[in-house]
Structure 1
Amino acid sequence: MNLAAWPSPGGLFAPLSPLIEGIPFAPEPASLELLSARCDLRSAGGQRLSFVAPQGDGVDYETRIWVRGEVETRPGNWHDFFNALVWLSFPLSKSTLNACHVEAMAVPDARCGRGRDRDALTHFDECGVVVVSSDHSLLALLRGFQWKTLFWERRLDLGRTLRCFVFGHATYEQLLQPFRGLTAKAVLHEVSEDWLRAPLCEQLADVDRRLASEVAAGRHRDPRAFHPLPLLGLPGVTEANESPSYYDDAWQFRAGRTRRRV
């Protein structure tokens, strides 16, 4: 399947669009080779990044990236293919996540269990989304689980003043066939109106810098602190949400306890 021809629900594939438009096929290895040849990215360990088939030599996934710059990528696998695209789209953040994993693994007995910090980082790596808005009230509604107000009553404002940058590669895979209850783990940022008018490439670079800086500073280490974002509530993700009654689904649009701000 050619990903460039796949409909982008609610524009959620936008962060990958500069890459998707430049590849003729996916998720085959030749696409990654084509993309990799255009990039000169480095792992946090200083090695030139490359995407390789699983090696089966016993080297840990995160250690391999740090020491060799090799990201194991199963041929023909959408999950791994999206992981590679996220590496190319958010290289600072992915490198910082890798460095944090390697640092945590160096602690004595750390390999016996991943621990809360690595769990949180992995959750965001798989299912994270960065939500930015120039309207503080929209972010407040998201924090307060006011889903119908956010997604229906403020629908026009969402299109004008809020953007979602999907980071999690598992979420990208799931968006190929969106399903009821599909939820991402969000971190929120308030931005200016000028920021929202900037070219996509500048927005992506800024999101990448912000996220990498936060992770390096020790943030996003509590799995409970992320804000759930039911993606099928966003306009355009599913035709079903074009009716206000769609948001009466209490199983999908759940009330939640107050969470720490992220």
Structure 2
Amino acid sequence: MAPSVDRIDWAAPWLQPLRAVGQPLAAQVVQGAPVHQALSAAPGSPLRFVPQSDLPEGTAYEQYIWDTRCVPTRDNLHDFFNGLVWLHWPQAKRRMNQLQAQAIAAQGVGAVRGPLRDALTVFDENGALLQAPEPLWDALRARDWQRLFIDLRPLWAQARMVLFGHALMEKLGQPRKPMVAHVYPAPTAIETIANLDAWLALALQPEAWATKPFAPLPVLGVPGWWAANQSASFYDDAQVFRPARSVMAMRGGAVGADSASS
């Protein structure tokens, strides 16, 4: 069954880094090409994309990719975006795949991922890099949403958020206010995705990443990403823009696992 790539809004700000490559590939899929075929035909593809049926039964997905440099791919939007991330972030994706494969070799697949594999999966599915002045990062880490998005709003002109997580890209096909990215800081001086890719591949160090060094950020709160957030009242929704756990504890409040205070 063909994925709904024909409904991708390529004008969405979070898809701008992928548009030049992604839109022509999406057109091929709409015209009937399997997702794996369209992705493999992309210029400079770092590996092959193969049908999901090529994955041998009982073989871990990550281990298969590491051993064969082939990515099993289904005909759906989720795997289409995963392929686009591979095309734009080949060094970081390869490094993540290496760490996953090493952990599987050492620990087996198991019913529960260890801390490192869990962190890598979280970022692979829902991660983003944020290049921003330090005051914005201070406010984000403190979950001070008023300061982050209203008081310091002019500073966002000096910031850039780049999505990495393919599941988040898929979900943003139907944007909802509670959608959260797990954000990792990147140097503001890096301009191109290729250079960000090289930097991230080096930054993927097991000891640090096992701690999940991310900050949750509701993506539709990013200035310029959603028309409704031009109004300050957009950020008054306490179910989305929740304070940090320590503040909630002092107030006797409970924090949901999927909230922006996670």
Equivalent residue in structure 2 for 1:12, among 11, 14, 17: 14
User: What code does the residue aligned with 1:36 have?
Assistant: S
Contact 1:100 1:216 in 2 (8 A): no
Within 5 Å, give how 1:21-60 maps onto structure 2.
21-23=23-25, 24-26=27-29, 29-30=33-34, 32-42=36-46, 49-55=47-53, 57-58=56-57, 59-60=59-60
Question: What is the Cα deviation at residue 40 of structure 1?
Answer: 4.2
Quick one: structure 1 residues 112 and 233, their matched pair in 2 at CA, closer, same or farther if it must change by over 3 Å?
closer
- Determine the structure 1 residue equivalent to 2:142: 144
Question: What is the Cα deviation at residue 3 of structure 1?
Answer: 5.5
Quick one: structure 1 residues 15 and 255, their matched pair in 2 at CA, closer, same or farther if it must change by over 3 Å?
same
Within 5 Å, give how 1:13-162 maps onto structure 2.
13-23=15-25, 24-26=27-29, 29-30=33-34, 32-42=36-46, 49-55=47-53, 57-58=56-57, 59-75=59-75, 77-109=76-108, 111-133=110-132, 135-158=133-156, 160-162=157-159
Question: What is the Cα deviation at residue 237 of structure 1?
Answer: 3.0
Establish whether residue 184 from structure 1 lines up as the match of residue 188 from structure 2: no
User: What code does the residue aligned with 2:218 have?
Assistant: P
CA deviations over 1:116-166 (Å, ceiling 9, x no partner): 110111000000000012x221222222212122222333321x2000110
Question: What is the Cα deviation at residue 37 of structure 1?
Answer: 2.5
Quick one: structure 1 residues 183 and 41, their matched pair in 2 at CA, closer, same or farther if it must change by over 3 Å?
same
Question: What is the Cα deviation at residue 95 of structure 1?
Answer: 0.4
Root mean square deviation, CA, Å: 2.4
Distance 1:61 1:218 in 2: 23
Quick one: structure 1 residues 54 and 110, their matched pair in 2 at CA, closer, same or farther if it must change by over 3 Å?
closer
CA deviations over 1:48-96 (Å, ceiling 9, x no partner): x111111253122111111111111111x11111001000010001000
State the structure with bigger RCO (CA 8 A, min sep 6), 1 or 2. 1
3-state SS in 1 of match to 2:186: strand
Distance 2:131 2:151 in 1: 19
Q: TM-score, normalised by structure 1?
A: 0.82
Number of residues paired by the alignment?
239
Distance 1:183 1:5 in 2: 19
Structure 1 segments unaligned to the other structure (5+ residues): 43-48
Which one is further off, 228-237 or 148-157?
Answer: 148-157
Distance 1:90 1:53 in 2: 21
